[in-house]
Amino acid sequence: MKILIATDMEGITGVTTWEQVTPGHAEYARFRRLMTQDVNAAIRGAFDAGADEVVVADGHWNGSNILIEELDARARLNNGSPSPLSMMEGIDQSIDAVMFIGYHARNGSPGAILDHTWSSRTVANIWLNDILTGEYGLNAAVAGHFGVPVIMVSGDQTACAQVTELLGNVETAVIKQASGRFAAECLTPTVAQEMICVAAKRAVERLAEGDMPNPFVLDMPITVTIELFTSDMADRASLIPFTKREGTRVSLTAPEMSSAYTGFRAMVTLAAG
Ligand SMILES: [Zn+2]
């Protein structure tokens, strides 16, 4: 059994502000250590349940947050950016399941720490076909492209609820209760990481028992639509050939999810200017 742990930082234990997840701020050093510990808890749970291999993707910012010297030595780490599959680097047909650690809700969600969708300055909303979703949906669809299910998520209550609403009854570790975008009641690392470990272990056990939702596979071709914050962003995103433009919405249709994902990333990169 081979597991990919796809990580982000906003849903990590204790995180409530942008400063804590932004390189260069004094607080960042503390929270990258906590991120490493949350990931280690998931690795421990996966191996406790019988996983043979664990690969980690560092998915936040420039993909260089996890402290490799403190990472569980049984895992391998995909870091740096841009990589071919970004937050899902390491996914392929050899992976049996994906875990989302430190995930956050889509932009515009009430009661959700640092809610945003891919780029907090650029993207207001995204749709996959007609499904309004966030990073969790994009990344789950990339896993689905390879026939791989998502089996667990950690983050605040809203992130976990959005993932289960989209994917079904996956294991969740709600390690903070958000009361706003920058406020939450947080569990301490000891408690939160035990919860992550237990959820990861149960997720792998349930997968082995055949008790997990199917991979998230979209109808093809796949249309990915981005609503940008300003029209100049849409001006730039629509420079990509064969995109369609409606106001601040730009969409692109691709034959399958892997190229829809790279097309999406290209649109956001251009839009940001
Ligand atoms: Zn992030």
Instruction: Report how far Cα 244 is from the mean position of its chain's Cα atoms.
Output: 26
- Whole-number pLDDT of residue 51: 98
In this prediction, residue 262 carries a pLDDT of 97
Tokens of 84: 């071919």
CB 63 within 8 A of CB 81: yes
Residue 116 exposure: Cα atoms within 13 Å on the Cβ side:
18
Distance from the CA of 239 to the center of ligand 1, in angstroms?
A: 26
Q: Whole-model pTM above 0.95?
A: yes
Query: Shortest CA distance to 219 belongs to which of 162, 152, 141?
Result: 141
Say what the pLDDT of residue 14 is. 98
pLDDT at 32: 98
Written as six digits, the tokens of 122 are 């650029």
**pLDDT digit of tens for each residue in the chain (273 aa)?**
999 999 999 999 999 999 999 999 999 999 999 999 999 999 999 999 999 999 999 999 999 999 999 999 999 999 999 999 999 999 999 999 999 999 999 999 999 999 999 999 999 999 999 999 999 999 999 999 999 999 999 999 999 999 999 999 999 999 999 999 999 999 999 999 999 999 999 999 999 999 999 999 999 999 999 999 999 999 999 999 999 999 999 999 999 999 999 999 999 999 999
- Closest to 143 in 3D by CA, of 105, 200, 95, 106: 95
Å from CA of 122 to ligand 1 middle:
14
Question: What SS3 state is found at 254?
Answer: strand
In angstroms, rounded to a whole number, what is the distance separating the alpha carbons of residues 100 and 112?
A: 16
222 three-class SS: strand
Quick one: pLDDT at residue 106?
Answer: 98
What local confidence, expressed as pLDDT, does residue 185 receive?
98
Confidence at residue 129, expressed as pLDDT on a 0 to 100 scale: 98
Alpha carbon of 46 to ligand 1 centroid (Å): 23
**Ramachandran quadrant class, 38 (left: phi over 0; alpha: psi -120 to 50; beta: rest):** alpha
Contact indicator for 157, 177 with CB cutoff of 8 Å: yes
Identify whether the C-beta of residue 201 lies closer than 8 Å to the C-beta of residue 51: no
Task: Note the pLDDT of residue 104.
Answer: 98
Q: Annotated catalytic residue: which of 60, 104, 116, 145?
A: 116
For residue 228, how far is its CA from the centre of ligand 1 (angstroms)? 18
Q: Is 104 a catalytic residue?
A: no
**How many Å lie between the centroid of ligand 1 and the Cα of residue 136?**
11
